[in-house]
Structure 1
Amino acid sequence: MSSENTPAPDLPLFYRDPQPLSSVSHAVWRLKDGDAAFAAETPFAPIVVGELAAASASYPVVFAGGDAQPLAVLGLERRNLFVEAGAWVEDAYVPAYVRRYPFGFIGTANPEGFALAIDAGSDRVAMSGDEGVALFEDGRPSEVTKQALAFCDAFQAEATATRAFAEALTAQGLLIDRRADATLPDGRTLGLDGFQIVDAETFAALPDDVVLDWHRKGWLALVQFHLASLERFSVLLHRQQRVAGVSQPSVSETVDVAPVHSKKA
């Protein structure tokens, strides 16, 4: 998904130099306290199925064009409207992808294998000195590294379940291309494209056997959370207007979620 002036990164979102953790190479590395400033300029974050309900209460949830990865939409341009002065706003859900940073998993030589990694480019990583918490103690993972491994392991399991859900949506032909367009009071236009949403009519016409199967898997509820979350595009517009200094946004102003062939800017 893209917004105006948002580049397509070659590395996973947020990561600049992910390295598999090693008790030899990273024996003296430490993890410092930090904030959410690293996420201040991203308009979206990946989410997994286990958090879709919680995320949908704070953000529009859409699907990336291509692999149908669920995404929480955080802004209408290259700005996260939920990070203020380096802190995530208290009344909004923080996606697990954000909470796990600067840790993560990277693939290994084994196609099914993953290794715990850390982003060496993160401001929270100290490669020397005494500031922060040690990643290794006496050659063994410290408590903070063990907790990161458990969190990332759970996230990876959810990612597998998320791929199954995304593949099912695609297989049933439910996803349709959309873009979001908004015009601010100063006349500036914002556009967000490259995402998909579930077509409500096609969803309502699913065969009975698919409906039963999806009910048992909890997927029907996930789709309903997604569809309901689209109303929150108006919340993004109001937050955008507040950032722009508009104290009383007009209730008549909305974000237009339109087909990709829309003529709007």
Structure 2
Amino acid sequence: MELGRAADKWQIEVALWILRREVMSPRFDHLPLRVYTFCCEMDFEDEIELSASKASLSDPRDPCRRDQIGNSSALDLIRIVMMHDAVKKPANLPEALKRNDATRPVPAWHQPILYAWDPLFKRNDADLVVKSSDGVEFRVFSLFLREASPRLADLITTSGASTLPTNASCAKTMEWPEHAGTIQALLRYIYPLGEHPRTEQSTDELMAVLWAAHVWKIEAALRPLRAAIISPERVSSDAMPSAAAWSSIRKEKSLQCMRSRLTQYTTTRLPISLVYLPWIGFTLLTKERGALLQLRLR
């Protein structure tokens, strides 16, 4: 684990990749809490979920386990305590949380969006061909993408795309690992069209575009999309801002959720928008709503 911290400090990606796999190997199964806390500390997203399921079999309140939780945050420990208690009382869990992680549905904001293709992004005189993960091709001007996002600029460079304008016959190709509908929605923000596109998408579609804008650091899309997702009619979208660590948006969505019937999901199947809300996030929302109701009764 010290090797992992050193590799992370010095950004040695190859070592990190090897150590991430090693720490999840059976040789460390006797230290489930230590592995979980280490994954939380290093922000290994996939490993956090896997190690949490193993760590939940141990009670972190047991004095014999204290040497394994030295680097744990309070929220990490609360999550494991909740999961440990839930294992003992599975009948009290919502159905969506009883399922194995491997069978849980893909979040709606990670699924493809279908749009009619805009001819603006199919111009024959453009200097860059962008291929989506589902095989759709766009012909766009690379200058707009370079200026919109440093990550896209790096992607264009590493894909060998030209840095100078050129004719259609010499257009370069870049693979953008997003669904075509999401790419087109982002291009509408990237291109200088004079005004932001109207956000008439459903909440799930809007979250897909917002998540991609967050991943690719497209500031021109982030600002209007964040404002759109704050709107009161999109109450169920709290899970995605929580996952993206947008504290101000999560707080606003929490206030909206407190005014909704959130507690009706404590004994029934969770909606897709709440399945991927972190354990602590769901608990806090429920407690905050309860506290608000208490204040109203006084």
- The bucket for the TM-score relative to the shorter chain is under 0.3
TM-score, normalization: structure 1?
A: 0.27
More RCO (CA 8 Å, sep 6+): 1
Bigger fraction of residues in strand: 1
Bigger radius of gyration, 1 or 2?
2
Bigger fraction of residues in helix: 2
TM-score, normalization: structure 2?
A: 0.25
